[in-house]
Amino acid sequence: MDDLIKSGWRWFNEPGQWGGDTVTTDPDTDFWRTTHYGYVRDTGHILGVDKAGDFELTVTFSGDYREQYDQAGIAIRLDEKNWIKSGIELVDGQHQISAVVTREVSDWSVVALAEPAGTVTVKADRTGDTVTISYGLNGAPPATMLRLAYFPPELSVLAGVMCASPTGKGFTTRFENITI
């Protein structure tokens, strides 16, 4: 992560503990807007770089998910009302491949995994007004499409890795092979 910082990446909500290729989330952190739960949260951690136009973001990661909604993966953030996050989220004790697309309000889609994944690779391909999210498990390339969503084109966004602990005390994620 130090090399990313040196090359122009920056934190949005920098966590108290990070270094090398690991991040430990602060407690009570999340990204969410209104839908179902009625609250707005903009406190999760993102390490990203500013990107405009088309790009492809890929990361492989693993985590010691312990508490409800512990999550890690990728993020594309225009502002507090327009963003995407995707990765693994622990829901009711089960690992879920998750995608949240927020344009004023959040929506959430998940795919339950039959067993916990050791590593997950997530790719976000931003082309024009579309972001396509794909994933692969345990060393497989990110070839399975999870989500295709509208996202405002051409505008500069913060694109990178994210993690959060909405209900827990924090957990550690290891990010590797981050490319954009």
pLDDT tens for each residue of the chain, 180 residues long? 889 999 999 999 999 999 999 999 999 999 999 999 899 999 999 999 999 999 999 999 999 999 999 999 999 999 999 999 999 999 999 999 999 999 999 999 999 999 999 999 999 999 999 999 999 999 999 999 999 999 999 999 999 999 999 999 999 999 999 999
Put simply, whether the predicted model's pTM sits higher than 0.85 gets the answer: yes
Please tell me the distance from the alpha carbon of residue 26 to that of residue 170, in angstroms, as a whole number. 5
Residue closest to 25 by CA, chosen among 77, 79, 65, 81: 65
172-179/55-63 β-pairing: antiparallel
CB 63 within 8 A of CB 174: yes
Pick the CATH number of 2-179 from 3.30.1360.30, 1.10.240.10, 2.60.120.200, 3.40.630.30: 2.60.120.200
